[in-house]
Amino acid sequence: DGGITQSPKYLFRKEGQNVTLSCEQNLNHDAMYWYRQDPGQGLRLIYYSQIVNDFQKGDIAEGYSVSREKKESFPLTVTSAQKNPTAFYLCASSITGAGNGYTFGSGTRLTVV
C-alpha cells in the first residue's frame, strides 16, 4: 500500500539537543511539507519542498532545518535554537500543482523533558 510514514511516533528531547524526525513516502509525490500543530490549534507550515534538492521556508522556519536528498524522504531537524519545540509534527506530500489534496502521515509528538 502506498502511504507516508513518520517516525518515531513519540520523541523526547532534552534541552539543548537536536532531534531529527523522519518522513518517508512511497506515493511518488514530488512535493512534501512539514507542519506543526499545537494543542487545540490549526497547522502552521514549517518547510516545504516541491522537488529534490530544493526546499523553501514556511511561516515558522526558525529553529528548524530540512533536507531533500531523495524524492521519498524529507527529514526535519528540530535544533536547540527552537525555544518551544513541544508540539505535534505532521508531514504531508502531494502531487505538484494546484488542485491536489495532501496525504498526511500519522504524526510525531515531540516533548521537551
Partner 1 sequence: SQQGEEDPQALSIQEGENATMNCSYKTSINNLQWYRQNSGRGLVHLILIRSNEREKHSGRLRVTLDTSKKSSSLLITASRAADTASYFCATDGIQGAQKLVFGQGTRLTINP
**Contact footprint for partner 1 (CB under 8 A):** 6, 31, 33, 35, 41-45, 48, 50, 56, 58-59, 88, 90, 92, 94, 96-107, 109
**Whose CA is closest to 63, among 85, 42, 95, 45?**
85
Give just the sign of the alpha carbon dihedral 108, 12, 35, 73. negative
What is the nearest approach in angstroms of partner 1 to the Cβ of residue 62?
15
CB of 80 to partner 1, least distance (A): 26
Asked if residues 22 and 7 have their Cβ atoms less than 8 Å apart, the reply is: yes
- C-beta closer to partner 1: residue 85 or 105: 105
> Of 31 and 63, which has the nearer Cβ to partner 1?
31
Minimal distance, residue 99 CB to partner 1, in Å: 6
Phi, psi of 73 (to 5 degrees): -130, 140
